[in-house]
Amino acid sequence: MPKLGMEPIRRAALVKATIDEIGAAGTLDITVSRIAKRAGMSSALAHHYFGGKDQIFLAAMRHTLTVYGAEVRGALAMADDNVSRLQAIIRAGFTNSNFRREVIAAWLNFYVLAQSSAEAQRLLTIYQRRLHSNLVYDLRPLIGDRADAAAERIAGLIDGLYLRRGLDQSSEMGMDATEHVLALLQAELKEHA
């Protein structure tokens, strides 16, 4: 019973199913059939809309990065001064939604994928650059020349703590990760005085 305009619906369902499947398996070693079944359609249809497994993965990756980007933008919109904007950026990285199993699995696997896929590499670089430039934008007025190096450290600590907390997804450790990065931020600001 073909309703028209199915394409965007199917694509969205496949992207979600892909992320869930990655989360369930912990790997990119999952089959198109399982993704399609989870999304409620045949594997042939998945191929029809995406063309191949690789493109399904890349779509899932784009989606993950888009969601993260939207979260950051949302948090930034509610902050006015430089310091609270910086705090918002930091907090956005450690929200509960970012600590769901599937999201963690997706990020880890995308890092791996970036080693063999130029497009994945590109997407990840965009994420890194955006985070860096967001940080520099608000750090510069506060600490001037030190902004770049400080941003490098803060971004590194965000990624590193996310990696460490993601591994043993034990309870709510996103809390303390946030505190650690905020502490680093304060140290970077105080250093200037």
Residues that bind DNA (CB under 7 A): 1-7, 10, 30-33, 41-45, 47-48, 52-54
Asked whether the beta carbons of 78 and 88 are under 8 A apart, the reply is yes
Selection from a second copy, DNA, none that 10 binds (CB < 5 to 8 A by kind) is: DNA
Largest CA distance in the chain: 69
Burial of 46 (0-12, 13-18, 19+ CB in 10 A): buried
Residues 62 and 53 sit within 8 Å (Cβ to Cβ):
no
Binding partner selected for residue 54 from a second copy, DNA, none, CB under the kind-specific 5 to 8 Å limit:
DNA
Burial of 3 (0-12, 13-18, 19+ CB in 10 A): exposed
We find the least distance from the C-beta atom of residue 33 to DNA, in angstroms, to be: 5
Gyration radius (Cα) of the chain, Å: 19
The CB-of-22 to DNA minimum distance in angstroms stands at 12
Residue whose structure tokens are 């696997």: 109
Residue ranges that bind a second copy, judged by CB under 8 A: 25-29, 104-105, 108-109, 111-112, 114-116, 121, 124-125, 128, 149, 152-153, 155-164, 167-168, 176-177, 180, 183-184, 187-188, 191
Residue nearer to a second copy on the CB measure, 81 or 176: 176
User: Rounded to the nearest whole angstrom, what is the least distance from the CB of residue 51 to DNA in the complex?
Assistant: 7
* Residue 148, binding choice from a second copy, DNA, none, Cβ under 5 to 8 Å by partner class: none
Q: How far is CA 95 from CA 71, 84, 90, 137, in A?
A: 9, 16, 10, 22
Q: From DNA, a second copy, none, which one binds at residue 47 (CB under 5 to 8 Å depending on kind)?
A: DNA
